[in-house]
Amino acid sequence: MYDYDQSTAFLGEWGPFQRLIFFLLSASIIPNGFNGLSAVFLIDTPEHRCRVPASANLSREWLNASIPLEERGRRQVPSRCRRYSLEALANFSARNLVPGRDVNLSQVEQEKCLDGWEYSREPYLSTIVSEWDLVCENDWKAPLTTSLFFVGVLIGSFVSGQLSDRFGRKNVLFVTMGVQTGFSFLQIFSTTWEMFSILFLIVGIGQISNYVAAFVLGTEILGKSVRIIYCTLGVCIFYAFGYMLLPLCAYFIRDWRMLLVALTIPGLLYVPLWWFIPESPRWLLSQGKIKEAEDIIRKAAEMNHVAAPDVIFDLIELQDVNSQDQRSYSILDLVRTQNIRSITIMCVILWMVISIGYFGLSLDTPNLHGDIYLNCFLSAIIEVPAYTISWLLLHYLPRRYSMAGVLFLGGCVLLFIQLVPAYLTVFSVTLVMIGKFGITASFSMVYVYTAELYPTVVRNMGVGASSMASRFGSILSPYFVYLGAYDRFLPYILMGSLTVLAGIVTLFLPESYGMPLPDTIEQMLRVKGINYRNTSKSKNTLKDEEENSVIIKGTTF
């Protein structure tokens, strides 16, 4: 089979060309960090109460007593969605009666917020919730807005791979960056909640498509050793840097429209990268554009100060590879045998639960004790050590126990939060961040683990199906946060329980650390505890395994 890496080995692994591609593509991920989680500040619900119009003609005493109290968070606070009947209060006020002394307020009729709401100007000047009154009977619209963004991510996951295969990695990367930036800018001019939500969905399509294109472009241009670091540290940590910028911008810009302006402008800075980031030579070769691919490699050789051979890609060898007949596989092959079916089911559960936990905790930062901006920044910065630790675990420890360990860590601390006394607010926030650390580390590791479990013939489909499950998890995550309005600890109990369950599921997966990558379904590692009728292997299968018995330490791509 034609070996691209061998043909381009003369470039070296870490020359000026590779360093340029590594940092530029990693930097292109930064906007994904603050655009993907901008809902934390754009769609947060400020404190609010029913508006009492000046035309109600209430005395100061009755105006102060016009909102009934309700229990929330074990405290008596003014109701957000009810007020006392203004007609009754106006009657009491006209008769100079005193609330609480002359009138028992518990017996006064209540009514909805017929004149709208008054919103606190702290910590925000405005959000889309205060803009379009997404509270009380309409409070379901706030989590739906975030879910629609993740629906866009789901759609983008479907189409991004096909688009980049057809039109090229570079073209799709820059077009989808333009979609993300352009439609984020259009959101500023939204006049209705419906308009904002539809545009947010399109932003989600561009966001994931840009991410996937940059990920694939980097893995196809960079060499094997650099590819590992790029996929586990480069992309993830630069995403975390973008996430860190979000609370910093939001702290200084408290109006949602102006915040969107600040988050959109950096997208324009990436336009000049078009002249520095090349198309994937691998993709050009697959399209038969050999001269264009060789031109890119020769420019890279010149940048790395090495001499390129006269012939880099042999036309005859490429034609032989492209003309080989290969058996086609379908999505049904992921459930065809008992072994691969078990692995697929467990991977789908893992990806969905991890996604619920990651995005649930990220979106829940406004509900934590203390300063919202500091909490969001801590939630972002904790991802840097999480990605670093996951990279070390992937290199030196077994996959199964590493994954289960970080999932048990994340899940157990989330379950423990409900036992922390209310006055230990700093300790509670610390536990949430430890939970975020564990779940983020597992999110980084599950990509590698899943890719190693599936054989070459269905690896893309296996990782794609698992990734699709995570998109459904992200769509559900805003509603886990929404449950906190009914019980503050319920989101943590649910996410913690599911995360511990995912850790238990991980222990049933086969161990792939130090094992050769399977090429066929027959060569897949076996799930323990399943009885297989035919455990004998044919001579051909054994011969194939011997030929492919390359032990890959650490992350494998």
Residue with tokens 């004149």: 115
pLDDT at residue 460 tops 70: no
* Of residues 207, 154, 160, the one with CA closest to residue 39: 207
Confidence band of 134 (pLDDT split at 50, 70, 90): very high
Distance (Å, rounded) from C-alpha 232 to C-alpha 555?
8
DSSP-derived secondary structure for 385-410: HHHHHHHHHHHHS-HHHHHHHHHHHH
Q: Percentage of residues in the chain with pLDDT exceeding 90?
A: 26
Average pLDDT over residues 383-397: 88
Q: Is 79 helix (H, G, I), strand (E, B) or coil?
A: coil
Residues 6+ positions from 288 with CB-CB distance below 8 Å = 322
Distance (Å, rounded) from C-alpha 47 to C-alpha 63?
18
- Average pLDDT over the chain, rounded to whole? 83
Average pLDDT over residues 40-54: 90
Distance (Å, rounded) from C-alpha 437 to C-alpha 353?
15
Angle between helices 372-381 and 425-453 (to 10 degrees): 30
Confidence band of 327 (pLDDT split at 50, 70, 90): low
Count of all residues that appear for the chain in the document = 557
pLDDT at residue 538 tops 50: no
pLDDT at residue 2 tops 60: no
- List the single range of 12-26, 428-442, 507-521, 524-538 with lowest mean pLDDT: 524-538
- List the single range of 98-107, 386-395, 409-418 with lowest mean pLDDT: 98-107
Query: Residues 234-279: pLDDT tens digits?
Result: 888 898 999 999 999 999 999 999 999 999 988 888 889 888 888 8
Q: Quote the radius of gyration of the chain (alpha carbons, Å).
A: 28
Confidence band of 319 (pLDDT split at 50, 70, 90): low
Distance (Å, rounded) from C-alpha 358 to C-alpha 495?
9
Average pLDDT over residues 51-77: 84
Average pLDDT over residues 95-121: 87
Distance (Å, rounded) from C-alpha 466 to C-alpha 353?
11
Cα angle, residue 508 at apex, residues 505 and 511 outer, rounded to 5°: 120
pLDDT at residue 325 tops 50: no
Average pLDDT over residues 113-127: 89
Q: What pLDDT is stored for residue 219 in this prediction?
A: 77
Cα dihedral 289, 295, 297, 299, rounded to 10, equals -160
What single-letter DSSP state applies at residue 118? Answer: E
Distance (Å, rounded) from C-alpha 408 to C-alpha 414?
10
Give the predicted TM-score (pTM) of the model: 0.82
Task: State residue 70 phi and psi, 5-degree precision.
Answer: -140, 155
Distance (Å, rounded) from C-alpha 92 to C-alpha 105?
11
What single-letter DSSP state applies at residue 104? Answer: -
pLDDT at residue 537 tops 60: no
Q: What pLDDT is stored for residue 359 in this prediction?
A: 92
Query: Residues 5-40: pLDDT tens digits?
Result: 677 778 788 888 888 989 999 888 888 888 878 889
Q: What pLDDT is stored for residue 397 in this prediction?
A: 87
pLDDT at residue 300 tops 70: yes
548 vs 362, which has greater pLDDT? 362
Helix/strand/coil percent split, the chain, to 5: 70, 5, 30
Distance (Å, rounded) from C-alpha 61 to C-alpha 169?
67
Residue type, 273: L
Six-digit token string for 411:
């899940």
Residue with tokens 């094997």: 224
Q: What pLDDT is stored for residue 159 in this prediction?
A: 79
Q: Which helix (H) or strand (E) holds 84?
A: strand 82-84
357 vs 316, which has greater pLDDT? 357
Q: Percentage of residues in the chain with pLDDT exceeding 70?
A: 88
- What SS3 string covers 428-469? HHHHHHHHHHHHHHHHHHHHHHHHHHCCHHHHHHHHHHHHHH
Confidence band of 3 (pLDDT split at 50, 70, 90): low
C-beta separation of 512 from 446 below 8 A = no
Q: Is the Cα torsion angle 186, 192, 196, 199 positive or negative in sign?
A: negative
Average pLDDT over residues 336-349: 85
Residue with tokens 């599950």: 446
533 vs 94, which has greater pLDDT? 94
207 vs 162, which has greater pLDDT? 207
pLDDT at residue 81 tops 50: yes
Q: Is 260 helix (H, G, I), strand (E, B) or coil?
A: helix
Task: State residue 340 phi and psi, 5-degree precision.
Answer: -70, -30
Average pLDDT over residues 92-120: 87
For 523, other C-beta atoms within 10 Å of its C-beta total 18
Distance (Å, rounded) from C-alpha 127 to C-alpha 408?
36
pLDDT at residue 384 tops 50: yes
C-beta separation of 270 from 25 below 8 A = no
Query: Residues 187-206: pLDDT tens digits?
Result: 999 999 999 999 999 999 88
367 vs 497, which has greater pLDDT? 497
- List the single range of 179-188, 320-329, 367-376, 520-529 with lowest mean pLDDT: 320-329
DSSP-derived secondary structure for 31-75: HHHHHHTTHHHHS----EEE---GGG---HHHHHTSS-EEEETTE
Distance (Å, rounded) from C-alpha 229 to C-alpha 44?
36
Distance (Å, rounded) from C-alpha 273 to C-alpha 266?
13
Average pLDDT over residues 403-414: 93
Q: What pLDDT is stored for residue 552 in this prediction?
A: 32
Angle between helices 425-453 and 459-482 (to 10 degrees): 160
